[in-house]
Amino acid sequence: MCLDFGDAAYEEGVEEVTRLVHSAGVKRTQLVKGRRQRPDSKFYAGTGKVGEIARARAELNAAFVVFNHALSPAQERNLEKELQCRVMERTELILEIFAQRAQTNEGKLQVELAQLEHLATRLVRGWTHLERQRGGLGKTGGPGEKQIELDRRYIANRVRTLRGKLSTLQKQRQVQRRARARRDVLSISIVGYTNAGKSTLFNALAHAKAFEADQLFATLDTTTRRIWLRDAGDVVLSDTVGFIRDLPHGLVAAFRATLEETVHADLLLHVVDAASGAREAQALEVNKVLAEIGAEGAPQIQVWNKIDRAGLEPAAERDQYGRISRVFVSARTGVGLEDLRGAIAEFARRRATERGAAAPEPLPLHTH
């Protein structure tokens, strides 16, 4: 279900939620669109549109309905009662994908933390039938309220445990970063909108075999490699989780330990899907998340990827200060990667000069 509130990027949003559903391994059977000036307080969609959804669900015998919006607990509860099926809003859909994709122990801990914190806001949904059993005679409480409190206590205890484990992993990362800093190793993080081609670029630069696929959130767990780049020397390269519009705040908070690799990076390679019509909006969303985690001030080179699909030529652009700000590449074909390596080398030379170290010789670039 997608509602249009006059957003110019509405069609991109429809396409994105369709890809999210497919990425979750679900077969989409019908897309219902709607237009409203503002969300309905009870159902989010209007009663007529909810009736249309109910008829479509019954005809298709659909197991659940996905809303491409954030629903309140009350709206979700009302919709499930009206539609007689599970209703999943955008945040829950993204959490489901993350739960399927997490491979490392740290990634699984981060996803579980985000899921529990989201569930804590919706506990009442599962126990409304017990709340009716509250006793009379002016007494409060009853089986329903007790069960809710037990669940809240369990979630609170589990959240503390998960945060403790993630804190330990965070300290281990800090030790590793201090060791790299003592060796003066250049740290680079690859960031970007989901499915922009970050893992493909990582594999091309590091000669690695990180998982890549044409789907949203193909990579969740941060992969780090120490590599050697000609004219740049030793480099620590990290491939990070992709960002997306309206990324749940709980996910950003849960993945903060992993994203600290981005915060503390010497250089960010911001990968942009050059073939996407929404590339400018996607780049803005990435910068919003970077600001949220405190990485907005990190030096950044935009890497416009997939130029083979966009009909663009490999090149490097400079800003008003003469620094390379954008490089056009195809990570899949390798076109333009030499320019990107040259841009990294130029950054390394500037960094070395500022620190009073010996700078490597420059690589020629195709600039315009």
Digit-coded pLDDT (tens) for 38-48: 889 999 999 99
Q: Give 108: exposed, middle or buried? Use CB within 10 Å, 0-12, 13-18, 19+.
A: middle
Structure confidence at residue 182 (pLDDT)? 56
Residue 364's alpha-carbon distances to 316, 326, 338, 342, in angstroms, are: 11, 15, 9, 7
Residues of the chain with CATH 3.40.50.300: 184-354
Residues of the chain with CATH 3.40.50.11060: 2-97
CATH number for the segment(s) 2-97: 3.40.50.11060
3-state secondary structure 7-43: CCCHHHHHHHHHHHHHHCCCCCCCCCEEECCCCECCC
Q: Which conformational region is residue 231 in: left (phi greater than 0), alpha (psi within -120 to 50 degrees), or beta?
A: left
Q: How far apart are CA 53 and CA 189, in angstroms?
A: 43
**103 or 272: which leads in pLDDT:** 272
295, 306 Cβ separation under 8 angstroms: no
Instruction: Read off the pLDDT of residues 70-89 as tens digits, 9 standing for 90 and up.
Output: 888 899 999 999 999 999 88
Q: How far apart are CA 126 and CA 343, in angstroms?
A: 54
CATH number for the segment(s) 184-354: 3.40.50.300
Q: Which two tokens stand for residue 298?
A: 């990190």
Instruction: Read off the pLDDT of residues 296-308 as tens digits, 9 standing for 90 and up.
Output: 888 999 999 999 9
152, 124 Cβ separation under 8 angstroms: no
Instruction: Read off the pLDDT of residues 251-260 as tens digits, 9 standing for 90 and up.
Output: 676 666 667 6
Q: Is the pLDDT of residue 137 over 50?
A: no
Q: How far apart are CA 17 and CA 66, in angstroms?
A: 9
Q: Calculate the average pLDDT of the chain.
A: 80
Q: How far apart are CA 252 and CA 293, in angstroms?
A: 8
- Sequence length of the chain is 368
| Total-model pTM | 0.72
Structure confidence at residue 268 (pLDDT)? 95
Q: Is the pLDDT of residue 111 over 50?
A: yes
